[in-house]
């Protein structure tokens, strides 16, 4: 299996070196452009680099990747572009940016959540694979077919990761219609999150929102839900991540799998684990978002999750409200570190 990995802002050179050293396992590196809204935080929370320094580092790193023949994917995957969504000036800006990147570094693909951006790229740039973002939550043949004129490939919704019949249907349709599909392996988001669209909209507008005198902060419903005592053992059944050990089950379904590494504190750990096909440690630490802090001093030891877990949940009836299988697997994999003796596993 090959991997599509995210370029993290303000990281040192270690991760770029790891990508280059493992380039035979890398399909693409995806990145966002500074000051362009995207599907992840774009604010410089570390304060380590100025805006100019971040721009210089990004261009230097893209050059290194290109020199090592690693393909690039640019992100236009914000959930909202506000007043710019349909403006001529906005598409002129995108066109100029694509011209610059393609001529200076080369560009293999573009991932977007906007059908209009997809249409613009298809009409004006030959040779760039236009890919539907996972944020579009496409998980059916109908969902793909509605937009097949605009997109060459699709990230299918996170919840399909553990739904083999659906993945097989999508694979067959893509093969018969000249399309390609991909998966996101290590999302920490909750399945069918009813606040996901709202949260993605906030992220898209975070620069202007951060400048306001805000009465509330919103970090995601998942944090509030999971910290409730009664919901702890729901975590495994309410998520959709694919463990490194289970990637072999997907080799015939997709040519590459996306790894979320742009905001994780240890992106090299994620990359190494998925390349090696195993990981010993907290399963949550491989994910974005990482909810480990909510469960301390307990954690779910990835290596203790049943070997048959993935094959079971890929073909089960998904009647989770009637089943305790995932909770039982999680209990067996749960470890308590030294800490409050009143907290039981």
pTM of the model: 0.94
pLDDT category of residue 38 using cuts at 50, 70 and 90: confident
Closest CA to 26 of 60, 55, 64: 64
Q: What is the pLDDT of residue 37?
A: 80
Q: What is the pLDDT of residue 179?
A: 98
Find the length of the chain: 345
d(CA 111, CA 45): 25
d(CA 78, CA 40): 8
What mean pLDDT is reported for the chain?
92
131 sits in which H/E element: strand 129-132
Q: Which residues share a beta bridge with 256?
A: 2
pLDDT category of residue 47 using cuts at 50, 70 and 90: low
Q: Is pLDDT at 135 greater than 70 in this prediction?
A: yes
Q: What is the pLDDT of residue 42?
A: 54
Q: What is the pLDDT of residue 266?
A: 93
Q: Compute the average pLDDT of residues 269-293.
A: 96
Q: Compute the average pLDDT of residues 22-28.
A: 98
pLDDT of 175-184, one tens digit each? 999 999 999 9
Q: What is the pLDDT of residue 341?
A: 44
Strand ranges, E, within the chain: 2-6, 26-31, 72-76, 109-112, 129-132, 153-155, 180-184, 256-259, 298-300, 334-336
Could you tell me how far CA 106 lies from the centroid of its own chain? Answer: 23
pLDDT of 299-334, one tens digit each? 999 999 999 999 999 999 999 999 999 999 999 999
pLDDT category of residue 52 using cuts at 50, 70 and 90: confident
Contacts of 174 (CB under 8 A, 6+ apart): 144, 154, 180, 181
Handedness of CA 249, 268, 21, 61 (dihedral sign): positive
Contact predicate 155/133, CB 8 Å: yes
Q: Which residues share a beta bridge with 112?
A: 76, 132
Q: Is pLDDT at 101 greater than 80 in this prediction?
A: yes
The answer, yes or no, to whether the previous bond of 173 is cis (omega within 30 of 0) is no
pLDDT category of residue 250 using cuts at 50, 70 and 90: very high
For the chain, the distance separating the N- and C-terminal CA atoms, rounded to the nearest angstrom, is: 35
Q: Compute the average pLDDT of residues 278-287.
A: 97
For the chain, percent of residues with pLDDT exceeding 70: 95
pLDDT of 185-233, one tens digit each? 999 999 999 999 999 999 888 888 988 999 999 989 999 999 888 898 9
Q: Is pLDDT at 340 greater than 60 in this prediction?
A: no
Q: Is pLDDT at 127 greater than 60 in this prediction?
A: yes
Q: Is pLDDT at 49 greater than 80 in this prediction?
A: no
pLDDT category of residue 45 using cuts at 50, 70 and 90: very low
Q: Compute the average pLDDT of residues 234-247.
A: 97
Q: Is pLDDT at 343 greater than 80 in this prediction?
A: no
pLDDT of 251-268, one tens digit each? 999 999 999 999 888 999
Q: What is the pLDDT of residue 10?
A: 65
d(CA 13, CA 31): 15
Q: How many of the other CB atoms lie within 10 Å of CB of 53?
A: 12
Q: What is the pLDDT of residue 50?
A: 81
Q: What is the pLDDT of residue 41?
A: 60
> Per the structure block, which two tokens stand in for 184?
């996101």
Homologous superfamily of domain range 2-293: Phosphoenolpyruvate-binding domains (3.20.20.60)
| Strand pairing report for 109-112 and 153-155 | unpaired
Handedness of CA 279, 196, 36, 44 (dihedral sign): negative
Q: Is pLDDT at 34 greater than 80 in this prediction?
A: yes
């Amino acid at each position: 299996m090959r991997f599509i990995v995210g370029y993290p802002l303000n990281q040192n050179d270690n991760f770029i070196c790891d990508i280059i050293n493992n380039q035979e396992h890398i399909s693409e590196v995806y990145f966002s452009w500074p000051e362009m809204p995207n599907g992840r935080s774009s604010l410089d929370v570390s304060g380590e680099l100025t805006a100019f320094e971040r721009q210089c580092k990004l261009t230097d790193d893209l050059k290194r990747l290109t020199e090592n023949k690693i393909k690039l994917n640019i992100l236009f995957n914000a959930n909202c572009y506000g007043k710019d969504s349909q403006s001529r000036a906005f598409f002129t800006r995108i066109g100029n940016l694509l011209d610059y990147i393609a001529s200076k570094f080369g560009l293999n693909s573009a991932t977007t959540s906007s059908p209009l951006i997809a249409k613009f790229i298809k009409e004006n740039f030959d040779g760039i694979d236009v890919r539907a973002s996972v944020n579009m939550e496409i998980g059916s043949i109908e969902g793909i077919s509605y937009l097949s004129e605009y997109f060459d490939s699709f990230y299918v919704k996170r919840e399909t990761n553990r739904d083999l019949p659906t993945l097989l249907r999508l694979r067959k349709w893509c093969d018969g219609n000249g399309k390609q599909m991909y998966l996101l392996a290590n999302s920490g988001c909750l399945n069918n999150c009813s606040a996901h669209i709202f949260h993605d909209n906030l992220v898209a507008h975070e620069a202007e929102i951060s400048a306001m005198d805000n009465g509330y902060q919103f970090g995601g419903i998942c944090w509030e839900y999971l910290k409730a005592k009664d919901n702890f053992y729901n975590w495994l059944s309410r998520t959709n991540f694919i463990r490194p050990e289970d990637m072999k089950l997907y080799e015939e379904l997709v040519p590459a799998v996306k790894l979320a590494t742009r905001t994780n504190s240890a992106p090299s750990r994620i990359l190494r684990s998925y390349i090696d096909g195993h990981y010993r440690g907290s399963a949550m630490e491989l994910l974005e978002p990482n909810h480990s802090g909510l469960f301390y001093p307990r954690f779910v030891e990835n290596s203790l999750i049943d070997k048959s877990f993935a094959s079971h949940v890929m073909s089960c009836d998904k009647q989770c409200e009637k089943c305790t299988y995932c909770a039982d697997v999680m209990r067996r994999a749960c470890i308590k570190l030294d800490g409050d003796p009143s907290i039981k596993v």
